[in-house]
Structure 1
Amino acid sequence: MRWLKELFLGARQPAERRRHPRYQVSAPLRVTVGDTVVECRLEDVSVGGVRLVPPIAAEPGTSIVVHDPNSGLELAGVIVAHDPGGTRARFDSENAGIVISTWLRTANETDGR
């Protein structure tokens, strides 16, 4: 019970549960949900998943494909949850790290133009 008291009083910080570093980036993306293509923005990304804005009208557990028009690369994923401003999805690819590093590099190069 002491750890709970310390947590609420600020003496203890909750453990970070994320497995992968998250990167803040804003870039346009297309998300395919079934036969529907949704234009949205990438808000933050990691090898494990992405946060998309605005929220996508699909239930958690729905399969999606996230396509980056700047690089031409895409990743399959699953919607995990919605929050007030967006949708969170988990990537299903072992190649996510390679694709994410390309997305980040492309977004950085596009911002510099």
Structure 2
Amino acid sequence: GIMPALIEHDLPAFGAAVAAIQMLIGTHFAPAQGGVFTSKRVERVAHGLNEAGAVGIGQSSWGPTGFAFAPSQDAAVSFVSAVQQTVEDSIEIKIVKGRNSGAKISSTKLDLVGS
């Protein structure tokens, strides 16, 4: 499952779990969005990234933002390079990393006049 894969730092298992969830959700909404992905352009890039070795491919909610996971920055650059020539001008690919920390809450003490 997804949580054991996270705990064990098992990227292939994590990617497989994310992809399975994405396929289940995408298949459910396929009649409304015209396929597993809402955008055929994003779907082509996603398939290319998968063929290049990326894992956990999917789309955010109704899309059209797609995502994939890579084991390292170098691998991510390699995956993007593999699909770059097939990417349409209207598609932007960004390599980002997760924020590996919990939520941060801060407050400011207000000096209220007359209190």
TM-score in terms of structure 2 length: 0.29
Q: Which has the higher strand share?
A: 1
